[in-house]
Structure 1
């Protein structure tokens, strides 16, 4: 399978973003995110590096922007419960289909699922110790990206952290995802948008240099594995 990865495929659209997307396929996609993200996004590493150290100092408020099916929030909630640490976790998504499905999967973990825009939380004066997103940035227009970064920074409490995680566009990432999902296309992934939308996501994503070029001052771009990007802002003791 070949794709032009020289530049972002900004006009490509993911099937699950269609308001008329098949509800059954959409919900199966949400369900499968748990498996895909465990391999690709490594939420355990996010917990160990960014969440647990802050939670050990006291209760933390965590916001996941564009949370989709809420799997990242539930993984964090389980880790925190295991370590007997206290947190208030909010899974935020602008699509009511996602928040309705995610809320039904909570299983008593106590995550709050909200259907709202980030700007609404800013206007309400809310603040969070940790603001996260996963696979959100590549969905946004250039103006939407700048608005998201400004709003999520406004939501950061004193000494807060904002960390947006996404895919890094590249031939290796595309080839690995295509090859890794192909054996499961007719079974495990059948009836979902995982494979098609995953390939589209990679085509729409940034490279390290592209993201660094559009990041506002004060933000840092980090490259990780496998084919990961992190756009990070962290308030230091001086309040910068």
Structure 2
């Protein structure tokens, strides 16, 4: 189950690559894609089940049960801060005992740099500070707090908890070919998302005018495209297993 899958391109892309092999072993394999909105493409393959549902609801009763995998990504900011223990609990309840895994992926929007190659008055850093502050005031925190998430997973009952941190460069300056390719895609997503992410928190919670937000986002966007600035964001990946005897 993909919880909060947006347009479904990730799950559909993975499904296109793996569905044939999966169905050779499991003829009844199913993937449920859950989101508040039904915005999936018109053509979807067999086994893919879009489901319109709010995962902030106290119960996930209508959703797929006994899942082998529940995937969540970039839900910080979408989930009310104090509801995260409930979301983890519901995910736990919908996993198959013994073999069910949760995978949770989040981007830490705090820009980082391991050398001095970043402007002194960074627009990207300024944007991140304001964005995080505005979302805090909505009680929909976007800040990544690794230890807190681990503690919530442990308190829920998960075992085999692992965390991986991946550097995502905001522009393709790296000498490594694979890192450059990832950076190109990250830059595209970031460039197209800055304004949409920023308008509501900066206007409603911090008192900005819309044009001020657009001007800040445009400066941040230009900065993230300068190859001599070695900025990156951390991507956090948590995986955890539901214990118990296999059914």
TM-score of the pair, normalised by structure 2: 0.50
In structure 1, runs of 5+ residues without a counterpart are 1-62, 174-178, 180-195
From the two aligned structures, give the one with the greater helix fraction: 1
Match of 2:6 among 51, 57, 68: 68
Match of 2:236 among 225, 229, 237: 229
Q: CA deviation at 1:161?
A: 1.0
Judged with a 3 Å threshold, the aligned counterparts in structure 2 of structure 1 residues 110 and 213 are, in CA distance, closer, same or farther, namely: closer
> Partner of 1:162: helix, strand, or coil?
strand
Q: Is the 8 A contact 2:106 2:236 kept in 1?
A: yes
**Pair 1:172-2:112 in alignment:** yes
Specify the alignment match of 1:205 in structure 2. Answer: 143
Q: CA deviation digits over 1:57-103, x for unaligned, max 9?
A: xxxxxx00011111121022112135354531111012x2xx2x214
Specify the alignment match of 1:122 in structure 2. Answer: 61
**Pair 1:134-2:141 in alignment:** no
In structure 2, runs of 5+ residues without a counterpart are 114-118, 120-126, 136-140, 168-233
Judged with a 3 Å threshold, the aligned counterparts in structure 2 of structure 1 residues 143 and 123 are, in CA distance, closer, same or farther, namely: farther
Which has the greater radius of gyration? 2
Q: CA deviation at 1:228?
A: 1.6
How many residues are paired up?
151
Q: Distance in 1 between the 2:80 and 2:70 partners?
A: 20
TM-score of the pair, normalised by structure 1: 0.51
Judged with a 3 Å threshold, the aligned counterparts in structure 2 of structure 1 residues 162 and 83 are, in CA distance, closer, same or farther, namely: same
Specify the alignment match of 1:113 in structure 2. Answer: 50
Q: Distance in 2 between the 1:71 and 1:125 partners?
A: 20
> Partner of 1:117: helix, strand, or coil?
coil
Q: Is the 8 A contact 1:64 1:90 kept in 2?
A: yes
Q: Cα RMSD (Å) of the superposition?
A: 3.5
Judged with a 3 Å threshold, the aligned counterparts in structure 2 of structure 1 residues 216 and 138 are, in CA distance, closer, same or farther, namely: farther
